[in-house]
Structure 1
Amino acid sequence: MSLFKNIFGSSDESENSSKMSWTQLTDLGQLNEIIDLSTTKPVLIFKHSTRCSISRMALKQFENEFDLEEKVTPYFLDLLENRSISNEIATRFDVEHQSPQLILIKDGKAIYNVSHSDIQVDDLRTKL
């Protein structure tokens, strides 16, 4: 059991053990904030399913490689706790819902949208 926990993590682990300074996306009103912020600095939204090992692995890899603190403001969405926000993101930014998913918002529009193994910091860097 501990071998699997070491590889995949446990589902009851705190998701806040990241070195990143995520802003938790927990309220629909924050989408207006994201749109406003994105006119001066790009905003990324990472949609994560806390019960999915693939999502957990994508998140950990992204966090380990992330070095764009000065260039982008990161928001984190716990998909299971905030499905209505995820649905609104799909509508407002005209993106298909996926999980895990990374969406880059600039000037109020989604300019980059990837999921699963396509979530790569190097690829994100080219969009900034």
Structure 2
Amino acid sequence: MDFLRRIARALARPGLPAMEELGVKEMRSLEDLDSALAASQSEPMFLFKHSTVCPISAAARDAVGEFLRGAGAAAPAFRLVKVIESRPVSNAIAERLGVQHQSPQLILVKAGQAVWSASHGAIQPSAIEQALAAAMR
């Protein structure tokens, strides 16, 4: 596990705000997932499945951060699940929402249902904006 921590630190981008500083809440338990899905009944929300040891996931994290910084206070809710550290939550997302697991993966949830998802290089600020606009119609 110490090896994984060292890799995660190496992948961290100095100077960029942590996801928590951008208003992203981490889901660590199935209860957290239940709460997020319940909250999506009133407002759409994004679930971001992130690997702390993958450089592609680090790039997707940066894209999510760029979107959030641009959206500011108007940003929708975002929840983060670290797929290695919280595997039961990651697996439950795939099972409950019927979206095949990938990492990195961003899923837009509205009324407890997945209405859009993207993975890997498709996670871009413009794609997030378009998905959110479509979900708000």
> Normalising by structure 1, what TM-score?
0.83
Superposed CA deviations along residues 11-51 of structure 1, whole A, max 9, x for unmatched, are 47799724411111101012221121111111111111001
**1:49–1:80 contact (8 Å) kept in structure 2:** yes
Deviation at 1:64, TM superposition (A): 1.8
In the other structure, the counterpart of 2:10 is: 10
Paired with 1:53 and 1:12, the residues of 2 have a C-alpha distance of 9
- 1:1-128 matches, within 5 Å, as 10-11=10-11, 17-18=18-19, 19-66=21-68, 67-68=70-71, 69-128=73-132
Give the superposition deviation at 1:93: 0.2
CA contact (8 A) 2:11 2:58 kept: no
Cα distance in 2 between the residues matched to 1:65 and 1:34: 20
State the AA in 1 paired with 2:35.
E
RMSD value over aligned CA atoms?
A: 2.2
Provide runs of 4+ in structure 1 moved above 4 Å.
Answer: 12-16
Give structure 2 stretches of 5+ with no counterpart: 1-8, 133-137
Secondary structure of 1:59's match? helix
Q: Alignment length, in residue pairs?
A: 120
TM-score (norm 2): 0.78
Q: Which runs of 5+ in 1 are unaligned?
A: 1-8
Measured after TM superposition, the shift of residue 60 of structure 1 is: 1.1
In terms of fraction of residues, the more helix-rich structure is 2
